[in-house]
Amino acid sequence: MNLFDKLPELFPVTTGGKWGFIDRRGNLVLDARFDYAEDFSEGLALVMEGFHCGYINAVGDVVVPLLFDTALGFSEGLAAVFREGKAGYIDKMGKYFIEPSFDTCGSFSEGLAPVELGGGKGYIDKSGELIIKPRYDYAGDFSEGLAPVQAGSRFGYVDREGELAIWPKFDFGREFSEGLAAVCHDGLYGFVDKRGEFAVSPHYSAAGYFSEGLAAVETDNGYGYIDYSGKFVITPHYEDAYDFSEGLAGVRLNDKWGYINHQGQFMVRPRFDEAYEFQCGLALMRVGDREGYVDQAGNTVWEPTK
C-alpha cells in the first residue's frame, strides 16, 4: 500500500469559479485553482487549465503535465489522451504507452479498449495491437467477457477474441451487469443472458443496468425496479430512476429527486432537481444550476455552487 491509498476519498467541487477537491466531510483539502476537474480514478484526477488538461495526485501535485487537448480518466493503469487530432494512451508517469494513432479511443476494460480508425470501431490490447478489426459502427466496453457492438442498425455482442457471441439482432444493447444485459427489441426493452436469450421478456419502454440485484425499468405507470426474474420488487410509480449504488437509488417523484432503499422507502426525501449515484459515501446532486454533495443520511456536505 502506498501513501495515496491511505488518503481519504476526494470529490471535485467549484468555488469562486475554480475547481478544487473536498473530503467526505466537506472540507476543502485541495485548493480550487483549476478551470475544470473530474473524479479521481486509480489515484489520479484529470484537471484542466485553459485549453489543456493533465493529471494530479491526491495531494494536488501535477504528475502528468497539462499538455493534452482532452483526456479520459485512468482505467487499468492507462488513460486515453487526445492531442493534435489523434488519440493514444499514457501511463501514470505521463509517458506514451500506446502512441497516438487513432481517430478516437475509449477506456480499457478487461484488457481491451475501443478505438476508431478510418470510420470503423474495433478493439486494441495494451500492446496497441488491433485484436478486433475496426468494422463496427459502435463499440462499447467489455463487461463480464462481452461487449456490445453495432453493425449497421443492429446491436450484438462480441467476446474478447472478436467472435460474435450474440448475433446483431437488437435495436440497442447495454453492457452486461450481474449476468444480464438490457436490450431493445422491436421498440421494447428486456434483459438477455450471455447466450442472447431473453431472461426477462421485452415489454418495458426503458431499462437500466442490474445493480445490487435490481434494475430500473419503465412501464406505462412509471419507473420501478425488478429482480432477475422480472418480478417487480419496487412498484413502478416514479417519474425517473437511476441504478442502485451503495444501497440507495436516485428516483424522481413530483418533479423532485430523492433516494430510496431496496424496499422502496425514501431514505433521503425528494428535494433535488437531479440526484446522481453514490460513490464512497457521497452523491452529487443539483439544485437549479448549482451542484453539491449529500451523504447517505441526506445531510448536505457541500452546498450547491455553480
**Confidence grade of residue 282 (pLDDT, cut at 50, 70, 90):** very high
Sequence-separated (6 or more) residues with CB below 8 Å from residue 31: 20, 60
One-letter amino acid of 66: L
Q: Express each pLDDT in 172-206 by its tens digit.
A: 999 999 999 999 999 999 999 999 999 999 999 99
Assigned C-alpha cell, 178? 450481474
Q: Which domains does the chain have, with CATH numbers?
A: 1-68 (no CATH), 73-170 (2.40.128.630), 182-238 (no CATH), 246-306 (2.40.10)
Q: How far apart are CA 40 and CA 48, in angstroms?
A: 14
Phi, psi of 3 (to 5 degrees): -55, -45
Q: Express each pLDDT in 124-163 by its tens digit.
A: 999 999 999 999 999 999 999 999 999 999 999 999 999 9
Nearest to 256 by CA among 234, 235, 279, 240: 240
CA atoms within 13 A on the CB side of 27: 5
Helix H or strand E segment including 86: strand 86-90
Q: How many CB atoms lie within 10 A of CB 26?
A: 18
Residues recorded for the chain: 306
Task: DSSP letter for 78, please.
Answer: B
Nearest to 112 by CA among 137, 78, 82, 86: 78
Q: Express each pLDDT in 37-87 by its tens digit.
A: 999 999 999 999 999 999 999 999 999 999 999 999 999 999 999 999 999
Q: How far apart are CA 141 and CA 149, in angstroms?
A: 9
Q: Express each pLDDT in 86-95 by its tens digit.
A: 999 999 999 9
pLDDT confidence of residue 195: 98
pTM over the 0.75 mark: yes
Cα-to-chain-centroid distance, residue 202: 24
In this structure, are residues 160 and 153 in contact, taking their beta carbons and an 8 Å threshold? no
